[in-house]
């Protein structure tokens, strides 16, 4: 039997405060008889409890003492009053002890209830906080997607407006015979007034990372650099190229990344003459 563990288990406090069950009280009294350390611990707690009660006691008014003695003197040897007085003195500690038992039990119940409620509300907070974060993330993604769609719509509207312009020359550039890719197709839109050149990639294979397509304008039989471009998923969007004052045809070759001063004719993909 570990006496220290038994003392620290709280049985002494439960016994003195009247919270122990009948079985626990019988067992505790037996342990007090068998182990002096337990009995001494009980006496020490009772003494400490008594001192604490006395230190917090409220001193009655001075006139109360005179009134009590006057009352006792006037009733004399009234047996019924004496018995009632004794009964009140006997019942008071029992009532006080029962009141302490209910207060302690209520405190434990409140503590357990408070702990359970705190855990429940904390769990709910974490759940709703995660849902809120997910909603914010979804809203941000939707706003970003909507902005992308708005940009694409503006590009399409701008392209459509340019295509309808009577001053815009349309140059279809199909794949050359025996070219690297027979399905290649691009279109050049050349503004004959401003001389601005716009390219729409209808179909070109995706090049390797070290390669880049280059547009050429054929002027008096000589190739003139019109700029390099990349092939993206948004292949129908217009790409503005270099301004070309005049040209008889346009062509596209696949060059090293960054472009080349002269075209690689072995990598010529498409060619189209200006009407």
Q: What is the per-residue pLDDT for 129?
A: 83
Residue ranges covered by each domain of the chain: 3-116, 168-273
* Alpha-carbon dihedral sign for residues 58, 62, 66, 71: negative
pLDDT digits (tens, 9 = 90+) for 37-95: 999 999 998 888 777 766 665 555 565 556 666 666 665 555 454 454 444 444 445 55
CATH T-level assignment (fold) for domain 168-273: Immunoglobulin-like (2.60.40)
Instruction: Judge whether residue 103 has pLDDT over 80.
Output: no
Q: How confident is the model at residue 114 (pLDDT cuts 50, 70, 90)?
A: confident
Rounded-to-integer distance, Cα 268 and Cα 218, Å: 13
pLDDT digits (tens, 9 = 90+) for 172-212: 999 999 999 999 999 999 999 999 999 999 999 999 999 99
DSSP of 242-269? ---S--SEEEEEEEETT--SS--GGGEE
Beta carbons within 8 Å of 108's beta carbon, 6+ residues apart = none
């Amino acid at each position: 039997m570990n006496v220290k563990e038994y003392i620290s288990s709280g049985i002494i406090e439960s016994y003195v405060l009247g919270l122990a069950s009948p079985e626990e009280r019988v067992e505790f009294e037996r342990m007090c008889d068998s182990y002096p350390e337990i009995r001494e611990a009980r006496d020490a707690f009772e003494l400490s409890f008594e001192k604490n009660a006395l230190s917090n006691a409220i001193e009655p008014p001075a006139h109360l003492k005179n009134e009590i003695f006057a009352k006792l003197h006037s009733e004399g040897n009234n047996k019924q009053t004496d018995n009632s007085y004794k009964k009140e003195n006997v019942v008071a500690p029992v009532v006080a002890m029962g009141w302490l038992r209910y207060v302690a039990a209520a405190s434990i119940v409140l503590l357990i209830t408070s702990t359970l409620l705190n855990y429940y509300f904390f769990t709910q907070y974490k759940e709703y906080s995660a849902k809120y974060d997910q909603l914010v993330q979804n809203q941000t993604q939707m706003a970003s997607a909507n902005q992308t769609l708005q940009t694409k719509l503006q590009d399409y509207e701008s392209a459509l407006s340019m295509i309808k312009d009577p001053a815009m020359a349309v140059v279809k550039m199909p794949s050359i015979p025996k070219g690297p890719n027979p399905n290649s197709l691009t279109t050049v839109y050349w503004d004959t007034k401003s001389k601005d050149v716009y390219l729409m990639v209808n179909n070109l294979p995706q090049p390797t990372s070290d390669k880049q397509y280059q547009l050429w304008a054929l002027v008096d039989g000589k190739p003139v650099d019109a700029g390099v471009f990349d092939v993206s998923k948004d292949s129908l969007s217009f790409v503005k190229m270099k301004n070309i004052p005049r040209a008889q045809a346009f062509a596209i070759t696949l060059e090293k990344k960054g472009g080349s001063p002269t075209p690689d004719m072995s990598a010529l993909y498409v060619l189209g003459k200006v009407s």
